[in-house]
């Protein structure tokens, strides 16, 4: 074993990683020991801030592992995060749901997730963007959390390993104070899993000239300070400040000329995202109809109806982004607006087009999805329509396959909240500093801004920030 560990470190340091940081050296040593010891119910937590070389390590580990008899599996919480993982490593990545679950129909006529058993032997599962992994029961999961299911699945294999990778400065899952998958105490006390941890903090040499990363580093250092205060940001290099609406629209127009899919606006609220989407569509894209071909839309509620059971994606997930290829049969029904749409995945280029009944009412609504009262009204209308069915079972089955009951809920995807953007990357990111009331939680705000800032691969525009937020260095 000692020879294997020494060989691993030598290969990494001499052949694959030039000028490693001290944090990367330690990560290699810890990973080597973790790999060869193979203790049951033990995970490795590899945390790294933006620009600290976490992806370089991931790419290197995946290249080396097959040569010593380990299979490599890349997973991420969302399809967009899996696409980023593929782009940065060159290796196919899957959504966690694609690996873990099969969709099953309950006797009551509802869909639920059937957890698979891990069929692999000597596989290392790398879960990227683990700050997004929730420990709260999810829709259709029969009371289990995604974190619980990941732990169970990996443990059910033979001699498998589990590595959580994430950035501790990013937003935790909605409703969580910390990211559960990156919390060693929580893994042990609530799930009975031990862990070994490494945290990368030193920005690698080739990234030190990036002003995005300099600003991101300033934010995460402020998060660690005894008294958390907004540290100010520097408008240099690829970071730009915009003060008025004309400047914003001009910059957006220039960015869209290089490709709509590589630009995103990040806001603090659904309401602000709706306002931006309206302005972008009317003033920049010339859209006049409620929804049309070429529009970019995001799924805002998990949907298990419109994909075949053997589709690789498993289901249409909250956060999936599509381009509308065609729209027809728009109609007002049950007090809502529906249409038939053909949709193209924007991050799954090889997939066939999806045909679905879509719900247009949500598109321009301030609420994140269909309002409770609207959902109840739709359900009651459909119940009345199937009231002549003799049994409750038949009525439930009719609702399960009814295209209006199962309509896909969409919102425009030109501007989104930060939680919706998390896990994705775009060449150009616009971040709006919205008005905040007194008593703002500084830590939560800094995590939000850090997460938004690190969504870019190239350029950031900071919109509407106060003069006192801008540093003159």
SS3 string, 24-37, reads: HHHHHHHHHHHHHH
Task: Please state at what angle helix 146-155 crosses helix 184-191, rounded to 10 degrees.
Answer: 80
Distance CA 153, CA 165 (A): 17
Distance CA 361, CA 25 (A): 53
Please tell me the predicted confidence (pLDDT) of residue 8.
57
Please tell me the predicted confidence (pLDDT) of residue 368.
87
Contact predicate 164/219, CB 8 Å: no
Strands of the 263-267 sheet, one edge to the other: 239-242, 456-463, 426-432, 263-267, 415-417
Distance CA 216, CA 231 (A): 11
Please tell me the predicted confidence (pLDDT) of residue 10.
59
Distance CA 215, CA 219 (A): 6
Looking at 103-231, list the stretches that DSSP marks H as alpha helix, in order from N- to C-terminal side: 146-155, 184-191, 211-224
Contact predicate 435/404, CB 8 Å: no
Which residue from 50, 56, 54, 57 is spatially nearest to 221, judged by alpha carbons?
Answer: 50
The residues pairing with 161 across neighbouring beta strands, listed in sequence order, are 124
Please identify every stretch of the chain with a pLDDT value under 70, giving residue numbers as ranges: 1-18, 103-113, 139-142, 205-208, 309-310, 312, 314, 349-350, 434-440, 472-473
Please tell me the predicted confidence (pLDDT) of residue 403.
93
Contact predicate 293/344, CB 8 Å: no
Which residue from 81, 123, 76, 69 is spatially nearest to 100, judged by alpha carbons?
Answer: 76
Distance CA 377, CA 87 (A): 44
Please tell me the predicted confidence (pLDDT) of residue 109.
47
H or E element in which residue 241 lies: strand 239-242
Distance CA 57, CA 53 (A): 6
Please tell me the predicted confidence (pLDDT) of residue 31.
92
Residues whose CB is less than 8 angstroms from the CB of residue 168 and which lie 6 or more positions away in sequence, other chains included: 47, 49, 131, 179, 182, 199
Distance CA 421, CA 80 (A): 9
CA angle 356/362/365 to nearest 5° reads: 165
Distance CA 207, CA 460 (A): 16
**pTM to 2 decimal places:** 0.89
Residues whose CB is less than 8 angstroms from the CB of residue 97 and which lie 6 or more positions away in sequence, other chains included: 113, 314, 315, 317
Contact predicate 344/323, CB 8 Å: yes
Please tell me the predicted confidence (pLDDT) of residue 388.
87
Which residue from 169, 171, 130, 166 is spatially nearest to 151, judged by alpha carbons?
Answer: 130
């Amino acid at each position: 074993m000692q020879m294997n560990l020494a060989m691993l470190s030598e290969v990494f340091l001499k052949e694959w990683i030039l000028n490693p940081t001290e944090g990367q050296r330690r990560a290699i040593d810890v990973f080597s020991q973790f790999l060869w010891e193979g203790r049951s119910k033990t995970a490795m937590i590899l945390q790294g801030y933006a620009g600290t070389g976490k992806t370089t390590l991931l790419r290197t580990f995946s290249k080396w592992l097959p040569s010593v008899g380990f299979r490599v599996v890349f997973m991420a919480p969302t399809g967009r995060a899996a696409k980023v993982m593929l782009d940065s490593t060159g290796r196919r990545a899957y959504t966690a749901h694609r690996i873990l679950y099969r969709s099953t129909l309950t006797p009551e006529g509802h869909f639920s997730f059937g957890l698979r058993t891990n069929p692999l032997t000597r596989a290392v599962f790398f879960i990227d963007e683990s700050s997004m992994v929730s420990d709260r029961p999810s829709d259709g999961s029969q009371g289990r959390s995604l974190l619980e299911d990941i732990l169970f699945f990996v443990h059910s294999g033979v001699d498998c390993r589990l590595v959580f990778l994430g950035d501790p400065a990013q937003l935790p899952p909605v409703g969580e104070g910390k990211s559960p998958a990156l919390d060693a105490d929580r893994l042990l006390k609530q799930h009975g899993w031990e862990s070994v941890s490494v945290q990368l903090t030193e920005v690698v040499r080739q990234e030190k000239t990036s002003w995005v990363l300099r600003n991101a580093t300033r934010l995460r250092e402020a998060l660690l300070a005894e008294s958390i205060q907004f540290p100010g940001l520097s408008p240099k290099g690829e970071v730009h400040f915009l003060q008025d609406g004309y400047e914003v629209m001009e910059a957006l127009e220039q960015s869209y000329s290089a490709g709509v899919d590589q630009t995103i606006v990040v806001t603090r609220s659904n309401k602000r995202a709706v306002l931006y989407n309206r302005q972008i569509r009317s003033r920049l894209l010339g859209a006049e109809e409620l929804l049309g071909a070429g529009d970019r839309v995001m799924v805002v509620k998990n949907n298990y109806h419109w994909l075949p059971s053997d589709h690789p994606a498993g289901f249409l997930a909250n956060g999936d982004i599509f381009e509308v290829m065609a729209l027809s049969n728009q109609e007002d029904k049950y007090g809502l607006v529906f249409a038939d749409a053909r949709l193209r995945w924007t991050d799954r280029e090889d997939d066939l087009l999806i045909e679905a009944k879509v719900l247009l009412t949500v598109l321009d609504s301030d609420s994140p999805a269909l309002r409770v009262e609207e959902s109840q009204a739709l359900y009651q209308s459909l119940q009345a329509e199937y009231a002549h069915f003799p049994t409750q079972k038949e009525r439930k089955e009719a609702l399960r396959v009814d295209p209006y009951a199962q309509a896909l809920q969409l919102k425009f995807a030109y501007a989104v909240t930060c939680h919706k953007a998390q896990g994705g990357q775009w060449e150009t990111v616009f971040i709006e500093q919205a008005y905040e009331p007194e008593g703002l939680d500084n830590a939560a705000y800094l995590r939000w801004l850090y997460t938004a800032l690190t969504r870019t691969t190239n350029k950031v525009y900071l919109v509407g920030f106060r003069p006192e937020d801008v540093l003159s260095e």
